[in-house]
Amino acid sequence: MLVMGVVKEMTAESAARAALGAGAIVMETIAINDGRLDHERIELIRRLRPDMILLAGGTEGGTIKHVVHLAQLIVAADPRPRFGATYKMPVIYAGNSAAREEIKKILGDRVALYIVDNIRPTLETENLGPAREKIHDLFLEHVMQQAPGYSKLMQMVDAPIMPTPGAVGMLIEKVARENDMEVLGVDIGGATTDVFSVFRNSEGELVFNRTVSANLGMSYSISNVMVEAGIDNILRWVPFHIDETELRNRIKNKMIRPTTIPMTLEDLIVEQAIAREALRLALEHHKMFATELKGVQAASDISRALQQQLERTLVDMMDLDLVIGSGGVLSHAPRRAQAFLMMLDAFQPEGITEIAVDSIFMMPHLGVLSTINEQAAFEVFDRDCLIRLGTAIAPRGIAREGKPVLKARITFPDGTTKDYTFRFGEIVRFDLGVGEKARLELQPMGGMDVGEGPNKRMEVEVSGGVVGLVFDLRGRPIQIIPEKRVEQLFRWIEAMEAYDTERLEEIISTFKAA
């Protein structure tokens, strides 16, 4: 999709949120204040050839001239449809209702025009639902109709067909609201990575957001991950010395043979290193869109005006209760500890966070089922779909390597209580099975924070999982020293039992010799 809005930080951003929330890949955002000249915008619209365009702008009662100007750019560009000569480009207008008649005059005969409620009726409110529903409908009518066998499938089923991101997002949102918790979900595929989140806003309401990172994936888009992350960021997760050229060649080989899977341990390690960066970048993209509404407060001075431009993201890793991972590289990791460590490294959750994976990529199906039988969908999700890996305790802060940063008294399920002192830079794992609970008394030191504030004591009950209870004392952000990379990673892998350490030692010595 191509998104067009009047003000980049307000209506255009709301429009992008609507498109992303409908599962669309936003190719570009055009706004009156985007710094481009009109001829550049016209050329961009022609070159992109999107499946559809979302045009928004203007609050109710406001000026219409800017959104009318954007409509005129569409006419000047006259974008060619991707599907057939008789097919008209769908354009959804979700702006100021006062401009509707003018928009009809300008676009009516040139495109397939659909008018829905204003996406941003006032500065203080956002109304994404109608635009999202129309995008979803047009996707099924215009885009999916080109898919072989789709019309036959329509005749076979009674329930509405949903795009995968829409179905997964629906399930995650319902789970978060049902349990009143803040949830982060990710679905990493071969070409795209979808991120879903439910976090509280400043008024305490749970807000759902979804983004699609179009060029971050593990096969067709794997080279894009390398370009966007940078080779050094991928290398930092590889626990053996590997030549940069060889790493690039391995990544390119995966791109030209996208359906292959790793056949050796070193291939698996490299692929999982790339997955960490794809997940990290997808979350960074998500944070930019999962924000409080901009432009709500009147700027009374320069500092306030600057603050409005730096509206905080809703994504707060300290408040996060549950992370759910999905997609082949996470769901089908040979050891569950690998999936746990990938999400721990990529997302770097803070405080106390439960981590789980979708066992067999069941979430899209359960999302659709939830529209027909919500209770059945929740029960299958909890009992058969979700594999609870365990709980991570990750204090926020930085300290000197080896310095004591956390004291913990752990009461295990059998009633025994033990005291531990954890040092900065280490990972410590305890066996705590699925369904088992442990009572923790945590005392952070040296300015570290586990959720109550720096050096504030905390008591909490945590749940176990397939991997167990993990104390991550690497600080936030995780510190990897390039000269000590291999030693650090090996130590963390050994603590998590993520790989066969004997085999890994052989690989380290082989690559070192080479």
pLDDT (tens digit, 9 = 90+) per residue, 450-492? Answer: 999 999 999 999 999 999 999 999 999 998 999 999 999 999 9
* CA atoms of 348 and 366, how far apart (whole Å): 28
Residue 442 lies in a domain: no
Same domain for 182 and 45: no
Domain boundary (392, 419, 443) is at 392
Same domain for 300 and 242: yes
Domain boundary (392, 421, 437) is at 392
Residue 424 lies in a domain: no
Same domain for 125 and 44: yes
| Residue 80 confidence (pLDDT) above 60 | yes
Supply the pLDDT for residue 83.
63
Sheet holding 417-423, edge to edge: 417-423, 404-411, 437-444, 458-463
Residue 88 lies in a domain: yes
Residue 202, judged by CB atoms within 10 A of its CB (0-12, 13-18, 19+), counts as: exposed
Helix (H) or strand (E) holding 138: helix 129-138
Per-residue DSSP letter, 87: P
How high is the mean pLDDT of the chain? Answer: 90
Domain boundary (161, 180, 195) is at 161
Contacts of 293 (CB under 8 A, 6+ apart): 10, 14, 123, 124, 125, 126, 311
The DSSP line for 325-391 is EESHHHHT-SSHHHHHHHHHHHH---EEEEEEEESSS-HHHHHHHTTT-HHHHHHHIIIIIEEEEEE
Kindly report which listed range (9-18, 97-106, 384-393, 414-423) carries the lowest average pLDDT score.
9-18
Same domain for 108 and 181: no
Residue 360 lies in a domain: yes
* CA atoms of 88 and 102, how far apart (whole Å): 19
Question: Beta-carbon neighbour count of residue 394 at 10 Å?
Answer: 24
Residue 154 lies in a domain: yes
Same domain for 178 and 139: no
Q: Give the best-scoring range by mean pLDDT among 141-150, 200-209, 274-283.
A: 274-283
| Residue 279 confidence (pLDDT) above 50 | yes
Supply the pLDDT for residue 310.
45
Give the number of C-alpha atoms closer than 13 A to the C-alpha of residue 173, restricted to the C-beta side: 18
Same domain for 172 and 155: no
* CA atoms of 120 and 18, how far apart (whole Å): 11
Domain range for 232 is 163-392
Residue 487 lies in a domain: no
Residue 512 lies in a domain: no
Same domain for 275 and 132: no
CA 274 to each of CA 227, 341, 352: distance values in angstroms, whole numbers, following the listed order: 11, 13, 26
Same domain for 217 and 140: no
Question: Beta-carbon neighbour count of residue 477 at 10 Å?
Answer: 9
Supply the pLDDT for residue 339.
97
Same domain for 178 and 67: no
What is the arithmetic mean of pLDDT over 7-24?
Answer: 85
pLDDT in tens, 193-218: 999 999 998 889 999 988 888 789 99
pLDDT band of 303, cuts 50, 70, 90: very low
pLDDT in tens, 314-370: 999 999 999 999 999 999 999 999 999 999 999 999 999 999 999 888 999 999 999
Contacts of 274 (CB under 8 A, 6+ apart): 218, 222, 225, 226, 234, 251
Contacts of 5 (CB under 8 A, 6+ apart): 11, 12, 13, 14, 15, 16, 29, 30, 31, 55, 56, 57, 70, 95
Same domain for 109 and 9: yes
Q: Bigger pLDDT: 354 or 9? A: 354
Handedness of CA 217, 223, 227, 229 (dihedral sign): positive
Residue 81 lies in a domain: yes
Same domain for 129 and 179: no
User: Percent helix, strand, coil in the chain (nearest 5)?
Assistant: 40, 20, 40
CATH number for position 98: 3.40.50
pLDDT in tens, 242-254: 999 999 999 999 9
Number of domains in the chain: 2
Same domain for 34 and 10: yes
